Chains A and B, each alone.
Chain A
């Protein structure tokens, strides 16, 4: 079963706009990770935020984590057509060793 839900399920924006995706989860976590998947192939790690962190940046990516609300958001600024992909959040629990994924957000960036 999935850990939680991602919102929206699909998002379509123009190049240059910002894209925001949200993720909710159900249980206590050690860290939360975001991955990108192009055309149903392998997952590419984007960013990891630990449970004691509230915000993290990496290039055009900004991730926030609110453990009291069990939610996270991923912001992609100044989007490009190459950002078109599915984005998944995944939680890593305190038992460790396994990721629990959400259902993903399918992002389309139009040139």
Chain B
């Protein structure tokens, strides 16, 4: 049973460029959430997608956008990259948005984005 799959694992981009990160949820899950984790800090919620719509959004600018496809996979897009966007981007999947009482949310291994 595949867990959450994220691609790519590492990425280097130049300031001002645009980037797309991808996530496939765990089999049986229909909800995808995205988090940004700066070095040495805890993850911060970016947004959640359910039924192909953005269901909830954290305190991130409009440069951060996303999409969910009919197969429940998701993309995170970041435009006009800044040096401060360098971070580990984590994807988490769940069923109907909420945490499973036994295993919480299922996280992928993340994409390490470096902006130079």
- Minimal Cβ-Cβ distance residue in A for B106: A45
Interface residues of B toward A: which range? Answer: 20 to 34
Can you name 19 A-B pairs with beta carbons within 8 Å? A2-B41, A2-B42, A33-B104, A33-B105, A40-B88, A42-B107, A43-B107, A45-B104, A50-B101, A88-B43, A95-B56, A97-B33, A97-B48, A97-B97, A98-B48, A100-B45, A101-B44, A103-B41, A103-B42
Instruction: Give B60-92 as 1s and 0s: 1 = Cβ < 8 Å from A's Cβ atoms.
Output: 000000000000000000000000000010101
Least Cβ distance of B88 to chain A in Å? 6
Residues of B93-116 whose CB lies within 8 A of A: 97-99, 101-110, 112
Report chain A residues within 8 Å CB of B99.
31, 33, 48, 92, 99
Residues of the A chain whose Cβ atoms lie less than 8 Å from the Cβ of B88: 40-41
Q: Report Cα–Cα, A99/B45, bound state, in Å.
A: 7
Pick the most buried of A1, A90, A102: most chain B CB atoms within 10 A of its CB: A90
- Residues of B within 8 Å of A31, CB to CB, are 99, 101
**Footprint of A on B, CB under 8 Å?**
4, 31, 33, 35, 37, 39, 41-45, 48, 50, 55-56, 58-59, 88, 90, 92, 97-99, 101-110, 112
- B88 and chain A: residue at smallest CB distance: A40
Query: Which residues of B are found within 8 Å of A35, using beta-carbon distances?
Result: 104, 107
Contact A104 B42 (CB under 8 A): yes
- Whole-angstrom distance between the alpha carbons of A95 and B41 in the complex? 24
**Chain A 47-98 interface residues, beta-carbon cutoff 8 Å to B:** 48, 50, 88, 90, 92, 95-98
Contact present for A98 and B104 (CB under 8 Å): no
A98 contacts B58, C-beta separation under 8 Å: yes
Which residues of B sit under 8 angstroms from A33, Cβ to Cβ? Answer: 99, 104-105
The complex places the Cα of A42 from the Cα of B35 at a distance, in Å, of: 11
A96 to B96, CA, bound (A): 11
| Chain B residue, CB-CB nearest to A48 | B104
Say whether, besides A88-B42, A97-B56, A41 and B110 are in contact (CB < 8 Å). Answer: yes
Give A52 to B43 CA distance when docked, in angstroms: 25
Q: Please, how many angstroms separate the alpha-carbon atoms of A103 and B58 in the complex?
A: 17
